[in-house]
Amino acid sequence: MVFSLRRTSAFSIRLAVTLFGLPCTFCATGVNPSVSCPLIYPVRTGNNFRHISTSCSLYKTMPSSAALHVRARSTQYPGSTVARFPVPDDKVDWSLKWAEYKPVSYTAPTVLKKPEWADPDIGSFSPKFNALDGAVDRTSFEGIYKVEDEVPLNPRGRTGLSGRGLLGRWGPNHAADPIVTRWKVDGSGAKVHHSVSKQPILQFVSIMRKDCGEWAIPGGMVDPGEQVSLTLQREFSEEALNSLTVPPSDREKIHERITKLFSSNGFQVYKGYVDDPRNTDNAWMETVAVNFHDEQGNSVSELPLQAGDDAGQVKWVDLDSSLDLYANHSQFLEMVAKERKAHW
């Protein structure tokens, strides 16, 4: 799904909101007349909420963290036999001189075939880094990133691999991760509490990724010019409910339930860099993770889960500290559990 953006106005809105530390997605005139974009949103100030008038979609938010990336330095690059140049913890930061650093150069064959979602090679086009480049957002939630020898540098440091790997864009590759939760209940509808923590147990919709076999949040890439709020809804519908293949009558029911849930006040869990095994020195994943909670269990909870094209399996999973999920998805879920005062 590709929409056009008015580059100047959209960038101005994003810049203004970013200066105030607020999450932002764009509502541009002519983007999609069937999608309404409310003008009034609640924003937390201290322990209270105030309302502001804006054209950006705002969520209650938690700050991103700047932990040292680990999965982005995994020995073998996923989906290949390519081994990264070993990068110890004390050599990750670009500010540290390291003359011996010789990263392996690798861009996956699928990317080199120039699919619609991928950039051409550097030299054959001139991307505008740290800016809105037409409909492609090349700004980073991490701030201004360096560009050396015409290629962007990963803001979290060295990964042992140059090029783009499996990622389509040079620089930030933007994704959206919808975390859909409900309370675990017994046969009578009462919340189930954990035997040790005594706190109620949350469940979230999880998919098993086909590419690596790991369980994950059912997210996906933000299309050029697409509002993040629409990406969240689209990806959940396609990956967890397989909305693209269900009969039209069922599709309408799914759309109604999903629209209702995703139009509710979402809790923005995270916005920033993702410690993804696909990251390279010149291409990396960033995401906006938002929690949408089915408090009464009568919304998405009543829809049958069905895995989409990129998912091998899909199911409701109990939130627990023992979860081992893709990238840093476990970190996102821990934040949700704390916010909802649930077991972790």
pLDDT for the residue 331? 94
CA 74 – CA 114 distance, rounded (Å): 26
* Selection from 24, 28, 4 nearest residue 15 by Cα: 24
The pLDDT of residue 49: 33
The token duo for 212 is 């690596």
The residues pairing with 171 across neighbouring beta strands, listed in sequence order, are: 283
Torsion over CA: 38, 44, 47, 50 (sign) = negative
What is the model's pLDDT at position 245? 80
Specify the amino acid at residue 30: G
d(CA 343, CA 255): 31
pLDDT, position 304: 81
3-state secondary structure of 205: strand
Q: Torsions phi, psi of 240, nearest 5?
A: -100, -20
Distance (Å, whole) CA 259 – CA 247:
18
18 belongs to a structural domain: no
What is the rounded end-to-end Cα distance, in angstroms, of the chain?
Answer: 36
Q: Residue 338: count other Cβ atoms within 10 Å of its Cβ.
A: 12
282 within some domain: yes
> Residue 239 domain-assigned?
yes
Is 243 in contact with 306 (CB distance < 8 Å)? no
Is residue 60 a part of any domain in this protein?
no
Beta bridge partners of 294: 182
The answer to whether position 212 is within a domain reads: yes
d(CA 52, CA 262) in angstroms, rounded, equals 20
pLDDT tens, N- to C-terminus, the chain (344 residues): 333 333 333 434 343 433 334 434 333 333 333 333 332 333 333 333 333 222 334 445 444 457 899 999 999 999 999 999 999 999 999 999 999 999 999 999 999 999 999 999 998 999 999 999 999 999 999 999 999 999 999 999 999 999 999 999 999 999 999 999 999 999 999 999 999 999 999 999 999 988 888 999 999 999 999 989 899 998 888 888 887 787 887 888 888 888 888 887 789 999 999 999 999 999 999 999 999 999 988 888 878 888 877 778 889 999 999 999 999 999 999 999 999 999 99
What pTM was estimated for this model as a whole?
0.77
| 201 domain-assigned | yes
3-state secondary structure of 160: coil
Q: Are 10 and 26 in contact (CB under 8 A)?
A: yes
Q: Give residue 336's domain range.
A: 71-340
Number of structural domains in the chain: 1
Is 29 within a domain? no
**Does 240 fall in a domain?**
yes
Locus of tokens 């309404």: 36
The domain that holds 130 is classified in CATH as 3.90.79.10
Q: Which neighbouring-strand residues pair with 43?
A: 50
CB 232 within 8 A of CB 215: no
CA neighbours closer than 13 Å in the CB half-sphere of residue 131: 10
| DSSP-assigned letters across all residues of 274-296 | ---TT--SSEEEEEEEEEEEETT
- Mapped onto helix, strand or coil, the DSSP state of residue 11 is helix
The amino acid that residue 24 corresponds to is C
Q: What local confidence, expressed as pLDDT, does residue 309 receive? A: 72
173 secondary structure, DSSP code: E
Give how far Cα 164 sits from Cα of 134, 152, 314, Å. 21, 11, 29
Whole-number Å distance between alpha carbons of 159 and 105 = 11
